[in-house]
Amino acid sequence: MDVLTGWWDDYFWGAIVVGQVFMCSLGLMIIFGLLGAMAKLSNSRVAQKIAGAYTVIFRGTPEILVILLLYFGSAITLTAIAQIFNPEIKFVDVPPFWAGTIAISIIVGSYATETFRGAFLGVNPGSIEAARALGMSNLQTFIYVRIPEMWRLALPPFGNHMLSLIKDTALISIIGLNETMFVAKQAITVTGKPFTMYIVVGAIYLGFSTIITLVVMGIEKFGERTTIGAK
């Protein structure tokens, strides 16, 4: 463990970056997922086709390709645009943080699209009719009946999507994000202990995964209690 002395703070800040990427990509992933689900459920053929293409493309393409494409593609485009205004500029990129965050949320969002769509369709039409029959308005039905039931259906797969997100953050190191993998690389060049350094990275990720799993379990328990209480 001696070799790790002096590196803990670097790992800590690396882990903070992982956490930041996770939080940002979680928000974006939900947005992409909801947009995709809405498009698939909409009456517009065009929207359905686009959403269909979205899910097929990102479920069939390796994550690393998406990240590389988004980062290098945007960099080349931005550089070209910047050179129009100032030919001196050599290189402009979207920061790896944002390129990576957007890439992994698009990818996982394509899976979330199916989750949200399934949850929406899974709501028992009987409960909706019952709520209507009780005189609840559309909005009330949506808030008190549809959302809670969707939530219950979507939570277990949604937990898996969160786990995918956290694990995919490791891939962003490939485009140079300064997170735990990156820290390990630096530490290895100094100490020459690759196994130790990458095991620490693994342990950090295992910690994140555990937290997410526990939180999802907690929410599930809580949800069960409230629905049982409501019955």
Partner 1 sequence: MSFDLNLIAESLPLMLMGIGITFKLLIVSGFLGLILAICLLLMRISGRWFLNFPAQVYIYVFRGTPILVQIFIIYYGLPQFEAVRDSIFWPILREPTGCAILALTLNTGAYVSEILRGGVLGVSKGVLEAGSALGMSARQNFIYLTAPIATRLALPAYSNDVISLLKSTALASTITIADMTGIARTIVADTYAPYEIFISLAIVYMIFTFGIQKLFGVIERYLGRYMEREG
Question: Where along the sequence are the contacts to partner 1 (CB under 8 A)?
Answer: 56-57, 59-66, 68-69, 72-73, 76-77, 80, 163, 167-171, 173-174, 181, 184, 188, 192-199, 201-202, 205-206, 209-210, 213
CA distance 12 to 61: 32
| Cβ(157)–Cβ(115) below 8 Å | yes
Query: Minimum distance between the CB of residue 73 and partner 1, rounded to whole angstroms?
Result: 5
Query: Minimum distance between the CB of residue 18 and partner 1, rounded to whole angstroms?
Result: 10
Residue among 123, 193, 181, 187 nearest 153 (CA): 123
**Pair of tokens at residue 179:** 């997170």
Query: Minimum distance between the CB of residue 149 and partner 1, rounded to whole angstroms?
Result: 23
CA distance 113 to 39: 9
Q: Which is nearer to partner 1, 73 or 134 (CB)?
A: 73
User: To which H or E segment does residue 141 belong?
Assistant: helix 138-141
Query: Minimum distance between the CB of residue 202 and partner 1, rounded to whole angstroms?
Result: 5
| Cβ(149)–Cβ(202) below 8 Å | no
Q: Which is nearer to partner 1, 16 or 147 (CB)?
A: 16
Query: Minimum distance between the CB of residue 121 and partner 1, rounded to whole angstroms?
Result: 18
Residue among 66, 68, 50 nearest 58 (CA): 66
